[in-house]
């Protein structure tokens, strides 16, 4: 009986279970994609004196998350929805995102993390090895035809692994918040307890960001935070720094 049950009604549940494990793995800090080398501009904002305590950090995190929502979620959405999208279309999106990300520091961070994830994915997600290999060739081949931007790599991987668009976009926002708060603890702006509290409190806000920016077309992608953008651009010129971006 039990075995019949497992084979009869459970496949969808088993699929859902597999998808959940995939998501957890992709957003886990154990996954070595180098996310923790990046502070989303927090380090330069802190050195400029803009962020100095829990309150100013909260404002920063809110803005960083909303900027991810307005600028990058449309690209995550396009890539995850494009499960059947050809590689050519994905490369086209990647070149467009490269032109959108004109801030050199953010651009390098996006490319660095995207490439790291792509390298890893080929060895880990064997079920989509063919598609991943094709993406790798386009990014790392000579000459490269794409840059491998993070939002598009994450989006396409999640899409290919069967994750729905809403979950993928939510996961991408989560990555932003996780990395900002982790950077904040290491910059000694808040302690780990306070960071955990902030993370919990920001969940509601993240849902509002989802409500406003999820499922948008890439033509609607825009910046909302010129001050942070300008400061982040100075990251590589800081005299001493912990983070790449």
Q: Tokens for 237, please give them.
A: 């010129």
Q: Tokens for 232, please give them.
A: 């982040």
Q: Tokens for 13, please give them.
A: 């549940």
Q: Tokens for 83, please give them.
A: 């499960």
| Rounded least distance, CB 205 to another protein, Å | 5
| Rounded least distance, CB 108 to another protein, Å | 9
Interaction residues for another protein, span 59-98 (CB under 8 A): 59, 62-63, 65-66, 69-70, 78, 89, 92-93, 95-96
- Closest by CA to 121, choosing from 6, 22, 203, is 22
Interaction residues for another protein, span 92-131 (CB under 8 A): 92-93, 95-96, 99-100, 102-105, 107
Cβ burial, residue 96 (10 Å; 0-12/13-18/19+): middle
Q: Tokens for 30, please give them.
A: 């154990």
Q: Which is nearer to another protein, 9 or 220 (CB)?
A: 220
Burial code (b: 16+ CB inside 10 Å, e: under 16) for 120-131 equals: bbbebbeebeeb
What letter would DSSP give residue 189?
S
| Rounded least distance, CB 49 to another protein, Å | 3
For position 239 contacting another protein by CB under 8 A, the verdict is yes
Enumerate binding residues for another protein (CB under 8 A).
Answer: 44, 47-50, 52, 56, 59, 62-63, 65-66, 69-70, 78, 89, 92-93, 95-96, 99-100, 102-105, 107, 205, 208-209, 211-212, 218-219, 221-234, 237-239
């Amino acid at each position: 009986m039990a075995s019949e049950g497992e084979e009869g009604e459970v496949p969808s549940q088993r699929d859902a279970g597999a998808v959940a494990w995939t998501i957890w793995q992709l957003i886990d800090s154990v996954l070595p994609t180098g996310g923790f080398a990046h502070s989303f501009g927090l380090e330069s904002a802190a050195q400029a004196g803009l962020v100095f305590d829990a309150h100013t950090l909260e404002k920063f995190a809110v803005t960083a998350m909303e900027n991810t929502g307005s600028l990058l979620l449309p690209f995550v959405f396009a890539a995850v929805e494009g499960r059947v999208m050809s590689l050519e279309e994905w490369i086209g999106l990647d070149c467009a995102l490269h032109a959108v990300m004109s801030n050199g520091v953010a651009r390098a961070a996006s490319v660095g993390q995207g490439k790291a994830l792509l390298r890893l994915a080929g060895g880990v997600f064997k079920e989509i090895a063919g598609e991943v290999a094709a993406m790798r060739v386009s990014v790392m081949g000579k000459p490269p035809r794409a840059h491998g931007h993070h939002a598009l790599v994450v989006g396409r991987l999640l899409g290919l692994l069967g994750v729905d668009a809403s979950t993928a976009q939510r996961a991408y926002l989560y990555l932003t918040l996780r990395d900002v708060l982790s950077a904040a603890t290491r910059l000694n702006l808040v302690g780990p307890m306070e960071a955990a509290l902030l993370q919990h409190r920001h969940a509601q806000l993240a849902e509002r960001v989802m409500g406003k920016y999820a499922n948008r077309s890439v033509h609607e992608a825009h910046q909302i935070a010129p001050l942070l953008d300008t400061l982040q651009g100075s990251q590589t010129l800081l005299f001493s720094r912990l983070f790449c971006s």
